[in-house]
């Protein structure tokens, strides 16, 4: 397909709320998805929102390669260590580990396409993590995100997708969906 030009910080398309997609199966949407996948691969990114390629539509794509998933899981485990580097053991940590396994936290996520996504925070708990953005090259920052979310969307074939996720998966979805809101 084609590698699309990335919108950079300050571009008006990144500042506006994206428009809903009426027909997720339309040929132009399929073409946009294919071009976004090529663009994401070329940029070595994890996620991309349509506004980042100058298309003000409610569409995001993302994937979490196994290497990034393992990295994120290692980071989460480090946060659970005390000052001497020993693991703190309590019931809450065990519950968190069970939640992580259940929600796929630490697992790779294949390329996923979300059309007209909606996000719901499942608790008020937030986690601060380091994020980068293809529209802000060479910049990273510490960003608070909800730890556990549910997202719903349409897929390219028009079916519904709904998932409850946490960890890096939740962070990536929230980041990409912020682009749809002009954030």
Which of 71, 79, 89, 176 is labelled catalytic?
176
Q: Is there a catalytic annotation at residue 131? A: no
Q: Tokens 């709904």: give the residue.
A: 162
Tokens of 8: 């950079």
Dihedral sign, Cα of residue 132, residue 136, residue 138, residue 142: negative
Separation between Cα atoms, residue 11 and residue 110, nearest integer Å: 30
Q: Give the residues across from 90 on adjacent strands.
A: none
Instruction: Tell me the chain's radius of gyration from C-alpha atoms.
Output: 17
Compute CA 137 distance to the chain's CA centroid, rounded to the nearest angstrom.
Answer: 17
Q: Nearest Cα to 168, choosing from 127, 117, 121, 115? A: 127
126 phi, psi to nearest 5 deg: -120, 160
Close Cβ partners of 121 (under 8 Å, ≥ 6 residues apart)? 146, 148, 149
Active-site residue list: 176
């Amino acid at each position: 397909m084609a590698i699309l030009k990335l919108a950079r910080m300050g571009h008006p398309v990144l500042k506006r709320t994206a428009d809903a997609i009426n027909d997720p199966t339309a040929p132009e949407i399929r073409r946009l998805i294919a071009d976004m996948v090529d663009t994401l691969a070329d940029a070595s990114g994890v996620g991309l929102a349509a506004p980042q390629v100058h298309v003000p539509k409610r569409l995001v794509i993302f994937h979490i390669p196994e290497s990034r998933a393992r990295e994120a899981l290692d980071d989460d485990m480090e946060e659970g260590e005390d000052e001497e580097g020993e693991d703190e053991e309590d019931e809450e940590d065990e519950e968190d580990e069970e939640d992580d396994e259940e929600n796929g936290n630490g697992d790779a996520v294949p390329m996923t396409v979300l059309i007209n996504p909606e996000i719901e925070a499942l608790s008020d708990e937030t986690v601060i993590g380091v994020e980068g953005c293809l529209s802000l090259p060479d910049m990273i920052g510490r960003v608070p995100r909800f730890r556990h979310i549910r997202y719903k969307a349409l897929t390219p074939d028009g079916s519904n997708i709904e998932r409850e996720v946490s960890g890096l998966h939740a962070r990536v979805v929230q980041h990409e969906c912020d682009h749809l809101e002009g954030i």
